[in-house]
Structure 1
């Protein structure tokens, strides 16, 4: 799907961390909307999507002037004296295709190099994240880059997220980040059907994983996901057993074969500062 780019000039860029992200002082979204348009994305059920014309994934708002806003708001937040911790991004992918040209995310990172928050968490499913290794390294231990890897099976990825990047590229970027010395994790969220070798594959690319599913991670106990009709996508493949609240426990046990307990996190704890 080709997304229409719309240019907006927001009045603010930092949002108060609430709900699932209440452990952060702020969340940060360089864009509104997401070209990947994943079928299971809970943002489809939120006002940012439901009040817009066009299917989720068909449009992306580019936040012009984002760096200047961040400079002002970050300085203001730090003056209050409380820890400033930022999650990027809660409702978009900071490295979606528009970032190649617009470079909004990189401009925000450049602001943080000169005025660093206490902690900065980057969540993406895009191999483009390797472009900014130079800036990640300058944030040292104040940053973690989390790469979404829902499965190791390309047939499953194409069924659920046909417009998202291939798994191979994500794993390669995760390894590049790790080898460069950037703190990383693989986020298995939402967990999709995968092979028994999945944990072994992930282990060669990172030493930290977070496992999350629809029932823990969509902010509504799975109701938002149910409203999207995601169960039917499992039924099409005859894999309904993967769409159960207990499935994460089975996957967790598989990952425990190759990861130690202090390397595995479940749902919200894996995203916290």
Structure 2
């Protein structure tokens, strides 16, 4: 799938944390749109996608000058109280465009100079290891949440073929952890996986967040239902994984490798 880049100059870059992200004061999206184009992405059903009238994954807006806008907004926000930021809620901050555009890196540089009280970086891209130097400077103020929905790359290819391979994400998560950066693996949304999945995650991080369509799409699974995913599961003989009981199956497996407090479910796992 080819993705076209469009350049925008935003007047604002920080959005108020609401709904699933109500534990944060702000969300931050370096881009609009996402080239990873995951089939299960809830953003497909949001106005930013629906009003675009272009297929999700075929366009990305690059927010030029975002660092200076963030600097200004951060200074104002910090005068009002603690600032906690979720990056990103409706795009991946390390999607392919970031290689050349560097918007996310520029935002991290700004946050090193004007640090928020807490920053969670949510991505599924190994490119984040490029910015280990900046993440280390943020110290205890940052946590990296690496999306690893499954240990089966055949499932990755079925549900999100444009997203980075599972093995590369595991290596990146391990590298971040070894550098002393706080990390977690986000099994979100959980996809069909093997019993060995928890052992692989244990080697890469000490914390796991598990989420599914029924808890995490903001509508009890209704938004995901409109994406037609249930038919995809059925077509490939995976119907038992498109059910709330699948969450408990994965939780029981995770408990074999992670202690209580090291694994969390849905919104709690993404809180500051």
* Fold agreement, TM-score > 0.5: yes
Instruction: Report matched runs for 1:117-266 at 5 Å.
Output: 117-266=116-265
Q: Which stretch of the first structure deviates more once superposed, 229-238 or 88-97? A: 229-238
Structure 1 position 76, deviation (Å): 0.3
SS in 2 for 1:207: coil
* Matched residue SS, 2:77: helix
Q: Which aligned segments of 4 or more residues in structure 1 are displaced greater than 4 angstroms?
A: none
- 1:203 offset after TM fit, Å? 0.5
Secondary structure at the counterpart of residue 184 of structure 1: strand
Number of aligned positions between the proteins: 272
State how 1:2-81 maps to structure 2 within 5 Å. Answer: 2-80=2-80
Which 5+ residue runs of structure 2 have no aligned equivalent? none
Deviation at 1:22, TM superposition (A): 0.3
Q: CA deviation at 1:116?
A: 0.2
Structure 1 CA distance for aligned equivalents of residues 211 and 241 of structure 2: 13
TM-score (norm 2): 0.99
Query: What's the CA shift string for 1:81-120, capped at 9, x where partnerless?
Result: x110000000000000000000000000000001100000
Compute the RMSD of aligned alpha carbons: 0.5
DSSP 3-state at the match of 2:122: strand
Structure 1 partner of 2:115: 116
Task: Give the C-alpha shift of residue 2 in structure 1.
Answer: 1.6
TM-fit CA distance, 1:53: 2.5
Shift of 1:73: 0.1
Give the superposition deviation at 1:245.
Answer: 1.1
Q: Within 2, Cα distance between the matches of 1:166 and 1:234?
A: 20
Cα deviation, residue 247, structure 1: 1.1
- TM-score where L is the length of structure 1: 0.99
- Compute the displacement of 1:232 (Å): 1.1
Deviation for aligned residue 1:236? 1.7
